[in-house]
Amino acid sequence: MYAVKVIKNVLLGRSLSPTLKKALNHCADKEKPKLQQLVYGALRDYPRLFGITKQILDRPIRAKDTDLKALVILGIYELEHMNTPAYATVASIVERAQDLGKPWAKGLINAVLRRFIREKEVILSTLTQSQQASHPEWMYDKITNEYPDKHADIFATNNEAPPLTIRVNQERINREDYLSLLKERGIVSKPGILANTSIYIEQSIRVEDLPGFTEGMASVQDEAAQMAASLLPCKAGEKILDACSAPGGKATHLLETFPEIQMSLMDIDQERMIKVTENLDRLRLSANVVIGDACAGSKIFPPDSFDQIIADVPCSAFGVVRRNPDIKLLRKLEDINSFSCLQKNLLNGLWPILKPGGHLLYVTCSILQDENDLVVGNHVKVNTNCEWIPIEAKWGFETKYGRQLIQTSGTHDGLYFSLLRKTSSH
């Protein structure tokens, strides 16, 4: 029943993360892995599953019965992906209609699921291209237009469960020794291919059970995100700002890489900054933590306050859809323009507090030009004291103003990086 409630809440417009967190807090420990599998799996595949229901149902399920809509989606997902006999799945799903206090719907649920079993091949053959790719049509079109040669791989990756990737704290232990620790514990793993701090954990495990995790020997962080620390040219004693810091992964990596820098971490979300403080404590790192809006950076800090700034800005998150499958349901086309406007405001708010000669590393977890090159290009054009620095690397591909990584099956997420240098105060 928890899975139905979580999916229902997302269908009603609520974010997955807090909704699932609440359900997990009430769920028995042994049931938590299955709950997460059902919720993430059904939401990743939602556009396709919803397309299937449209073929079967004579008329849409009423808005006031969103829980039944969630139940049907979950039922079809279980029939396709869980190792349970079809008859047992149908019986279980039908009984949940009773548990929802809607016994009148048992016949409807039974008929829908049994028709799907009987006519599966025909039903699947009638789905649109976007439904087959399990992406909303506008998102399908956007990605297809921007990546005509890569869109199929992007869709497939977005529909997969992401790997568990960790970052080794090289202040405490090197990667080779940590890989040996994992092997001693019987934990299957392999080194990453982009970042020399990255390791992929190739089995299901709680992060708390990783060797030395609570003592700060490792952190969970995607391998693409681990590239940021190698791109910002920090020096000992410099003042560094992570302007959109929560949950603090890139800032703590910078502190591990450059332990003698003076680090400030800022974010507008006070609740999320609690997690940043917890991560700093676990990793035994110290930094100045500030609650503030980077768009108003010049009102929070004096001009020319920082030698280097990293701005991992809010975005559409098109590069991390597999980790945030509710994006497929909650994000709208008009949101892209809203994010690009916010990103421009963030750059404008941060630029005055960067010292001449300093660098700003602009980062998004998006694969869209609207939020990447077009935002950076606009900033370069309107600020005569801004110069773009090419990122020389063998990973990803070069764009006009930065470097792009595309999410890849079994490995890293899709992130964009652009390095800007301030040539003078004006």
Structure tokens at 29: 């420990």
Residue with tokens 């890489």: 257
Grouping H, G, I as helix, E, B as strand and the rest as coil, residue 356 is strand
Residues designated catalytic:
365
| Contact between 322 and 158 (Cβ < 8 Å) | yes
The structure tokens listed for 31 are 């049931």
- 190 forms beta bridges with 200
Concatenate the DSSP letters of all residues of 172-233 into one string.
T--HHHHHHHHHHTT--EEE-SS-TTEEEE-S---GGGSTTTTTTSEEE--TTGGGHHHHS-
Contact present, 153 and 146 (Cβ < 8 Å): no
| Residues contacting 63, CB < 8 A, separation 6+ | none
Contacts of 118 (CB under 8 A, 6+ apart): none
* Cα 93 to Cα 238: distance, rounded to the nearest angstrom: 59
- Single-letter residue type at 100: L
- Cα 321 to chain centroid distance, Å, stands at 6
Q: Which of 261, 242, 310, 255 is nearest to 281 (CA)?
A: 255
- 127-134 own/partner pairs: CB under 8 Å, 24+ apart: 127/48, 127/51, 127/52, 127/55, 128/51, 130/47, 131/47, 131/48, 131/50, 131/51, 132/48, 133/47, 133/48, 133/159, 134/44, 134/45, 134/46, 134/47, 134/48, 134/49, 134/158, 134/159, 134/328
